Structure 1
């Protein structure tokens, strides 16, 4: 019995730093990709085993990253797919920066995510359909970027979604009207000149032609 307990204790001690290292590597991948003029990421030291000691990072009692607060930090550069490795992340706050490029499809792996705030950046490309995997998501704010393409209809299955804002982009096609989207008003979609739908037009239109 004592040997069994000892083995499990050793396994726990081995696995925990491994998780911390993986999450630290994922966060440091972001640091390498962005320009940080105010040195808000200066404490992100890859030689430390535990990223929970870094500023702007919050962890749970098991030293797993649950929150990343980098709103209005004057960061520029691209998001990295590595962020999808933060399995217990609940809040990803990267609003009001100067981030460019696409939203990584890998963010759809963040099954614990409650809030995804990427508004007021310069993100391009389409909204990844993989975000429909975020069953715990309550807040999705992608407004004031340069996103294009259709709103993925798979997002309508996000039953816990309370706030959606994709306004002030360049989205096109029609606005989904089923599932969680039935409760969102025109304000969630405004200032997308190529976007049509029941909230804006009073009836459902079906997507036809090209929409890029």
Structure 2
């Protein structure tokens, strides 16, 4: 009986020690795990992710990361960072993320569909990279999104109609890709102009300023007003 009690006591001590180990804290923190997964997959020639270490309790003191009062990641700012490599699907675990700013890098591969899980996202800036594949239809789940810029990549396929359901969308730029098919013109897309879809030679429809095959010709859209340049005093 005494031996059994000693074994139970020893087990409790081991569990307590393990609970205090930094590695356990990291494994329990999905945000650290998600961001560190990104670090391990990208090439970082200027070491901009040097503070992203796995032995921290949370990533709120890492450079290029912003958190809220609950120490949850709300913003990632890695524009113009010369990073290359894929985006990891673990980024879909950053449930409180509002701004994902990864523009003007050399990220490649497909845009992970799990980014559609980031339902608090306000801005998704992935422009000027080397992304290919299709625009995930799951991005239509981002009901709070105001800014979506995917321009200057190598994206292909059709534009998901699910994006027209994002009623909060104010800025959209899908120009300079290899997109195909008819540009949706309903829902939130009704507020955008052909410039949002420019230089996708295989797009058609009113917002592409090009009739789709077999569709009747349409009158060109009227020119959009340009704000006058203020006079210098």
TM-score where L is the length of structure 2: 0.79
For 1:201 and 1:134, how far apart are their aligned partners in 2?
28
Change in Cα spacing, 1:84 to 1:174, as seen in structure 2 (3 Å) is same
Which of 96, 102, 111 in structure 2 is aligned with 1:94? 102
Partner residue, 1:186:
194
Q: How does 1:76-155 map to 2 (within 5 A)?
A: 76-155=84-163
Q: Verify the 8 A CA contact 1:20 1:51 in the aligned structure 2.
A: no
**Number of the residue aligned with 2:60:** 52
Q: Give yes or no for contact 1:198–1:205 (8 Å, CA) kept in 2.
A: no
- Whether 2:41 is the aligned partner of 1:33: answer yes
CA contact (8 A) 1:174 1:206 kept: no
1:106 Cα deviation from its structure 2 partner: 0.4
Counterparts of 1:145-184 in structure 2 under 5 Å?
145-184=153-192
Give distance in 1, aligned partners of 2:56 and 2:77.
20
Q: Which moved more, 1:136-145 or 1:194-203?
A: 194-203
Between the two proteins, the alignment pairs up a number of residues equal to 191
- What is the distance in 1 between the residues matched to 2:208 and 2:201? 11
1:58 and 1:64 mapped to 2: Cα distance?
8
Q: Which whole-Å CA distance do the structure 1 matches of 2:26 and 2:41 have between them?
A: 23
CA distance 1:148–1:159, shift in 2 (3 Å):
same
- The offset of 1:18, in angstroms, is 7.6
TM-score by length of 1: 0.86
Q: Secondary structure at the match of 2:57?
A: coil
Higher relative contact order (CA 8 A, sep 6+): 1
Q: Mind listing any 5+ residue stretches in structure 2 that lack a counterpart? A: 1-24, 216-233
- CA distance 1:76–1:142, shift in 2 (3 Å): same
- What is the DSSP-based 3-state SS (H/G/I as helix, E as strand, rest coil) of the residue aligned with 2:63? coil
Is contact 1:132-1:158 (8 Å) kept? yes
Whichever of the two has the greater Rg, that structure is: 2
Residue 84 of structure 1 aligns to a residue whose secondary structure is helix
C-alpha separation in 2, matches of 1:128 and 1:35 = 24
Q: Deviations over 1:87-134 (max 9, x none)?
A: 000000000000100000000000000000000000000000000000
Distance 1:182 1:202 in 2: 16
Q: Work out whether residues 20 and 50 of structure 1, in 8 Å CA contact, stay in contact via their aligned partners in 2.
A: no
- Give the stretch that moved more between structures: 85-94 or 195-204: 195-204
Unmatched tracts of structure 1, length 5 or more: 1-16, 208-212
**CA distance 1:205–1:39, shift in 2 (3 Å):** same
* Alpha-carbon separation, structure 1, partners of 2:213 and 2:185: 10
